[in-house]
Structures are given as C-alpha cells and as structure tokens.
Homo-oligomer: A and B are copies of this chain.
Amino acid sequence: MIGIFDSGLGGLTVTKEILKQTPEYKIIYFGDTARLPYGTKQPDLIKSWSENNLDWLSQNGAEVLVIACHTASSWAYDYLREKIEKPLFEMVSPSVEIALNKTRSGRVGVIGTPGTIKSDIYSRKFASSPRIKLFQQACPLFVPMIEEGWINHLATREVAKEYLKPLIEAKIDTLILGCTHYPLLGDLIKDIIGPSVEIIDPAEALVLKIKDFFDKNSAIQNKIKKGNNHAFHFSAQPYNLELISRLCLDREIQGKIVKND
C-alpha cells in the first residue's frame, strides 16, 4: 500500500491528489491526532513522533511512505531517510523544483506553519539558486480556521489579507502553499494575491514525483496492493472529521483509532 501520514487531516488533500492521479493503489493513512498540531511543537518531538508514525505504517503494510505534513518534512526528513529503508517522499522538495521552473522574476513566496517557516528548510532548498529571492510568512491561524470549515468567511479573508500583505509588497510572482491544509484556501489566496502570481499546490508537485518514481521502479510499483478499500487510522478521534474529510477528500471517511507509540 501507499502509506501516508500527517499530524491530522491535512494529509487528506495529498491523499486526494494521489487517488486522482494514481487511483489504482490502495492507501493506508495515519493521522497523529492525539498530538496535533505539529506546526507549533519542537523539532525533537516532531522527529520522534514522525518515526513512530512511519514505523506504524511500515508494520501495517505500506511499501512506499509519504510524509504528508510540511512541518514533519521540514524537521524530520533528513533524520528519517537514514532510518527508513522503504521509499520515502516528503512535501518540500517537489514544490521547490516546480517553483524554480515557474518563477520568471525569481521572487518566490512561501507560506507555512510557524514550525515549517522556523525550520528554514525552504532557504536551504533554494540556496543553490542565487537568482531566487525568497519571502517567507508563517500563517498560524490558517489551519484552525480551515478545521472550522471557515473557508469563505470574512474573518478568514481578514486573516489572509494580513498574512499575504508582506508577500504582495515583496512583488513575488510565485507562491508555494507550504502546508497540506492550504490548498483549501487556494481560491481565497488567489483572490487576495492577484492572478499574476503562480500558486503551487504541494500535493500536485508531490504526485508528479511519485509517478516518476513508479515509472523508474516497476518492481516496487508491482508490490503495492491495488484496490479502493483505503484505510484511515488516527491516534485519537479527529476533531470535525466529517466536515474536514468532505473538504479535503470530497467524501466522508470513517477513522479507526489505534495506538502508535
């Protein structure tokens, strides 16, 4: 199976894109809802929790692993790729590659959780491209507002205007949505930041990578179970599961509660 983990439900937007582009594979999902959010927690906790989550997915049949959480990708990927033997994907690099192709002016914006921005992972990823001028903005209120379902609320618009203001002033031409929740605010963000800015959905960027990997590694591809009886597991009952799974995945899911530590 393709194993996907996130701190909560945001990884379902990634799941949706994987199912859209490679619908034949069976998905096993793990959301660490007992310990969410990761975005305001400390690096050493995120590393050890992420390792728990990947071990759990591996032990439960995942052949390919996806860290569908930018905060965990930012802090824990370098640590985890030494420890995990199976193919492991993360959220940051695929978007960076797309941004490098798309930007004309070299002025690139990134929005993310405080944890992701503080990790400075995007600066490091863009460091080998001196033509890029990077502008980063933490948006800590976006996830709680999305988890309330306030996608088109006036308050969400006020919050977005505040967060995006420095990026508009910086005249970016490309914006990376550096959190798996943020594509749900894509229309609002586009509306505020204007049509001239190219917005990069991290899930789309990731799935291009996964498909490319499958094309080059048919032995692993063939090992992955086919089927549409996907399984969704959480470390605690998720908050607002019905609403969020409809928003992120276009359908309601049933979650099974399991212990992962």
> Is A19 in contact with chain B by the CB < 8 A criterion?
no
Total interface residues in chain A, CB < 8 Å: 24
Using known A-B contacts A34-B45, A237-B42, determine if residue A145 contacts B141 with beta carbons closer than 8 Å: yes
A144-B141, A144-B144, A145-B141 given; A40·B159 CB < 8 A: no
Cβ of A154 within 8 Å of any chain B Cβ, yes or no, is yes
Would you list which residues of chain A between 136 and 194 have a CB under 8 Å from chain B?
140-141, 144-145, 147-148, 150, 153-156, 158-159, 162
Q: Which B residues lie within 8 Å of A156 (CB)?
A: 155
Report the Cα distance A141→B155, complex, angstroms: 10
Q: Are A239 and B162 in contact (CB under 8 A)?
A: no
B153 near A162: Cβ-Cβ < 8 Å: yes
* Pick from B45, B114, B155, B162: contact of A162, CB under 8 Å: B155
Distance between Cα atoms of A34 and B239 in the complex (Å):
18
CB-based contact A114/B41 at 8 Å: no
Q: Which residues of B contact A159 (CB under 8 A)?
A: 155
A236 within 8 A of B: yes
CB of A35 within 8 Å of the partner chain: yes
Complex Cα–Cα for A112 and B38 (A)? 23
Chain B nearest Cβ from A229, distance in angstroms? 26
Q: How far is the CA of A139 from the CA of B144 in the complex (A)?
A: 11
- Docked Cα-Cα span, A43 to B153, in Å, equals 30
Q: For residue A239, which residues in chain B have a CB less than 8 angstroms away from its CB?
A: 40-41, 114
Given pairs A155-B159, A158-B158, 10 additional interface contacts (CB within 8 A): A41-B236, A41-B239, A114-B239, A140-B148, A141-B145, A141-B150, A144-B144, A153-B158, A153-B162, A154-B158
* Residues on A facing B (Cβ under 8 Å): 34-35, 40-42, 45, 114, 140-141, 144-145, 147-148, 150, 153-156, 158-159, 162, 236-237, 239
